[in-house]
Amino acid sequence: MNAVVLCCLLQAAADPYASAREAMVREQIASRDVTDRVVIQAMRQVPRHEFVPPELRDQAYADHPLPIGHGQTISQPYIVALMSQMLKLGPGLRVLEIGAGSGYQAAVLSRLAAKVYTIEIVAPLAESARQTLKRLGYHNVEVRHGNGYLGWPEQAPFDRILLTAAPREVPAALIEQLKPGGLLVAPVGGTPFSQELVTIEKTLDGKIRRRRGIPVLFVPMVSPPE
């Protein structure tokens, strides 16, 4: 057996999904408008199949969202990559995510930033995201079970904030917890078919600039029962 064949066999044994992940990056991400090499590299590295229910692993690298239980979904790979790119991340930055879900987006962000804080309102999802991230060695991610509308005041301010559930309007507490010079990206809209990706920039002198982006479809951001 020659060395190249042996190497591929060893790789496949270590990660049977490696070639599916490569195909996902090539066909769904790099071929569309995701050009940031660091984002592409992160999408190449993070084992998405570890973040989906075992019975759906064979679909983990397909071009659509998947159910993760409790009526929630892990976003389509392309959307994860696109939002990661829109955040313009870099070494040293601290990021807050609202809607940990499976923990996959947080794992991708953790490759692009210094520290990721992520909040999840469904307790069992928060727990399983925490376990998965720990098991896979994403030690710069902290998961909290709580209400994302309140943000994470103890750790604020954040350089970047990403919402992966859609509020009607971006919560004021989150804009407050954004650093001057920071960016927030969120799907915003009252009904599922009126959502769009919005970017909010807080300028160094504290002004808020808002830009509207592409239409998207996310699960709604919910409020806890009174």
Type of residue numbered 83: M
Q: Let me know: does 73 contact 216? Beta carbons within 8 Å.
A: no
Q: State yes or no: residue 120 binds ligand SAH (CB under 6 A).
A: yes
**C-alpha–C-alpha distance, residues 125 and 72, integer Å:** 9
Binding mask 71-110 for ligand SAH (x = CB under 6 A): -xxxx----------------------xx-xx-xx-----
**C-alpha–C-alpha distance, residues 148 and 100, integer Å:** 10
One of 75, 84, 110, 128 is an active-site residue; which one? 75
Q: How many residues bind ligand SAH (CB under 6 A)?
A: 23
Is the CB of 5 or the CB of 115 nearer to ligand SAH? 115
Q: State yes or no: residue 122 binds ligand SAH (CB under 6 A).
A: yes
| Choices 22-30, 42-50, 134-142, 144-152; region in contact with ligand SAH by CB under 6 A | 144-152
Q: State yes or no: residue 52 binds ligand SAH (CB under 6 A).
A: no
The distance of closest approach from Cβ of residue 121 to ligand SAH in the complex, given in angstroms and rounded to an integer, is 4
Q: Is 178 left (phi over 0), alpha (psi -120 to 50) or beta?
A: beta
**C-alpha–C-alpha distance, residues 56 and 199, integer Å:** 32
19 is catalytic: no
- Please provide residue 185's backbone torsions phi and psi, each rounded to the nearest 5 degrees: -120, 130
Residues recognised as catalytic: 75
